[in-house]
Amino acid sequence: MLVVFDVEGVLLDAEYLPVLAKLIGKEKEIMDITIQGLRGEIPWKEGLLKRVEALRGIDYDKALEIALNLPITKGAKEVCQKLKMSGWRLLAVSGGFGIITDRLKDELGIEHIFSNELIFKNGKLTGVDINVNSDKPSAINGIIRQWDEKKDDIVAVVDGANDLELFNIVGLRVAFNAQKIIKEKADVIIDEKDLTLLIDAIEKHYGTISAKSTNKSN
């Protein structure tokens, strides 16, 4: 049994690039592009490249400080702990960056996190190395096969249009404080910023939170 989380807006209660943009007075510009991407109004890759280009030259030290201080979503630690204790595996896939996701392995116990990487040269932001695009399943299909996880036993918890393809490879589709395009395709909609509500959604769908009991029932 596996839960796949998006990161920004789900495990983290923030969007990194708009927060980073405050350093140079471009918060509104970056947030507008971010929202367009989340709604599916512009191609995700185009939006990402535009945002990173607008932030070129930002200091690495300042970028790291902001990344390490992004707030973790209410209930994220509790839900991840409970899921792991109940036998679930946890994975995250993000259109964001390793600078914000790496900490979640220790803080939340996420086993694997797939993300992009900001490029810094001489301590300044210069670009981005894209490993995860809007086809997020392509980034995680290998480890899902390695773990031998079946579609019906996978839950996705997401919020934006660039997560939509994940709904094709899971058995329970959860929209967490999500854009309309995600809510329209979801099995469960959580509009409160509290990830512990995921436990109730899983129990209602599978009849139990225990991965072992769920596997036996399947």
Sign of the Cα torsion 91, 142, 188, 152 reads: negative
| CATH at 31 | 1.10.150
Residues 33-46 have a mean pLDDT of: 86
Backbone angles phi, psi at 97, to 5 degrees: -135, 155
pLDDT tens for residues 117-152?
Answer: 999 999 999 999 999 988 999 999 999 999 999 999
Q: Do 85 and 118 have their domain in common?
A: yes
Strand arrangement of the beta sheet that strand 2-5 belongs to:
124-129, 112-121, 89-97, 2-5, 154-158, 172-176, 188-190
Please give the share of the chain, as a percent, with pLDDT higher than 90. Answer: 84
Q: Do 27 and 60 have their domain in common?
A: yes
| Residue 104 pLDDT level (bands cut at 50, 70, 90) | very high
Which of 41-45, 58-62, 67-71, 137-141 is least confident?
41-45
Please give the share of the chain, as a percent, with pLDDT higher than 70. Answer: 98
The total number of structural domains that make up the chain = 2
Q: Do 81 and 128 have their domain in common?
A: yes
- Whether residue 217 is predicted with pLDDT greater than 70 in this model: the reply is no
| CATH at 125 | 3.40.50.1000
Q: What is the pLDDT at residue 8? A: 95
Residues 94-103 have a mean pLDDT of: 95
Q: Do 58 and 88 have their domain in common?
A: no
Q: Do 186 and 102 have their domain in common?
A: yes
Instruction: Give the mean pLDDT of the chain.
Output: 94
Q: Do 25 and 63 have their domain in common?
A: yes
Residue 63, CB-side half-sphere exposure with 13 Å CA sphere? 21
- Whether residue 216 is predicted with pLDDT greater than 50 in this model: the reply is no
Domain with 138, as residue range(s), is: 2-13+71-217
Q: Is residue 15 classed as helix, strand or coil in its secondary structure?
A: coil
Q: What is the pLDDT at residue 215? A: 61
Q: Do 122 and 174 have their domain in common?
A: yes
Q: Do 45 and 127 have their domain in common?
A: no
CB atoms under 10 Å from CB of 195, counted, come to 26
Q: Do 7 and 48 have their domain in common?
A: no
Q: Do 43 and 115 have their domain in common?
A: no
pLDDT tens for residues 182-200?
Answer: 999 999 999 999 999 999 9
Query: Rounded CA gap, 208 and 14, in Å?
Result: 31
Q: Do 57 and 155 have their domain in common?
A: no
Q: Do 32 and 7 have their domain in common?
A: no
Q: What is the pLDDT at residue 40? A: 84
Q: What is the pLDDT at residue 213? A: 72
Q: In the listed set 68, 95, 110, which residue is the last one of a domain according to the structure?
A: 68
